[in-house]
């Protein structure tokens, strides 16, 4: 075998090794996005299970706030549907509606001293608030994983392997502008 043939084989081997390395890195990023989504999904499921308990507790005290309670229940169903379909765009919109409904519910609870004094209500409010914080933290991690994945599959030479192997970009989990804005406490308290 000539020196030229050996050099060509070495270069081909190095290119193949480089392609395998790039492919494996893309696979890790894709699974990182899936793992981050699963972490959000766990918290969404836990919150989904807690919300009916909260609504039931509130119903005992808030006879005149049926619209708010129904809005929370409806938003809960929309979140569950989007989560089950893994529709990140719809989930962001549904989450915004649910967060708004919960904000109104907790604000209205201020008008019911017996409800606020209820151990069950306080426990559920703390539990749901903790889950909301966890969802926010995990959403940040998910969006970082999505960003890393999307940047990598668009960079050269990774995009050659990503396109050939069918890697797809992932969607960021975004909440509406209204959800990110400061709450209008005057409107929540009807002043």
pLDDT of residue 177: 55
pLDDT of residue 63: 74
Cα torsion angle, 176, 69, 123, 117, sign: positive
**DSSP for residue 189:** T
Assess whether the previous peptide bond of 80 is cis (omega < 30° from 0). no
**Distance separating alpha carbons of residues 183 and 9, to the nearest angstrom:** 65
pLDDT of residue 71: 87
Tokens at 120, concatenated: 């069950």
**Distance separating alpha carbons of residues 164 and 84, to the nearest angstrom:** 29
Tokens at 148, concatenated: 């890393």
Please state the separation of Cα 94 from the chain's center in Å. Answer: 11
Neighbours of 2 (CB within 10 A): 7
Angle between helices 3-59 and 66-85 (to 10 degrees): 160
pLDDT of residue 168: 93
**Distance separating alpha carbons of residues 95 and 114, to the nearest angstrom:** 29
pLDDT beneath 70: ranges in the chain: 176-191
Q: What is the pLDDT of residues 98-148, one digit of tens each?
A: 998 998 888 888 888 888 888 888 899 999 999 999 999 999 999 999 999
Nearest by Cα to 86 from 165, 152, 173: 173
pLDDT of residue 115: 86
Task: For residue 163, give the 3-state DSSP assignment.
Answer: helix
| Whether 26 contacts 153, CB under 8 Å | yes
Neighbours of 191 (CB within 10 A): 6
């Amino acid at each position: 075998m000539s020196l030229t043939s050996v050099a060509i084989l070495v270069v081909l081997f190095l290119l193949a090794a480089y392609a395998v390395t790039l492919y494996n890195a893309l696979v890790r990023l894709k699974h990182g996005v899936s793992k981050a989504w699963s972490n959000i999904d766990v918290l969404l499921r836990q919150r989904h299970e807690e919300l009916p308990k909260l609504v039931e507790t509130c119903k005992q005290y808030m006879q005149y706030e049926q619209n708010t309670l129904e809005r929370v229940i409806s938003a809960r169903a929309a979140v569950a549907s989007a989560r089950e379909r893994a529709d990140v765009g719809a989930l962001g919109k549904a989450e915004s509606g649910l967060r708004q409904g919960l904000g109104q519910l907790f604000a209205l609870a201020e008008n019911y001293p017996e409800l606020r004094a209820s151990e069950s209500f306080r426990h559920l409010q703390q539990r749901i608030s903790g889950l909301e914080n966890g969802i926010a933290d995990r959403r940040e991690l998910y969006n970082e994983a999505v960003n890393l994945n999307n940047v990598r599959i668009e960079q050269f030479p990774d995009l050659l392997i990503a396109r050939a192997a069918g890697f797809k970009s992932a969607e960021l989990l975004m909440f509406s502008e209204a959800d990110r804005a400061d709450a209008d406490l005057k409107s929540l308290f009807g002043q």
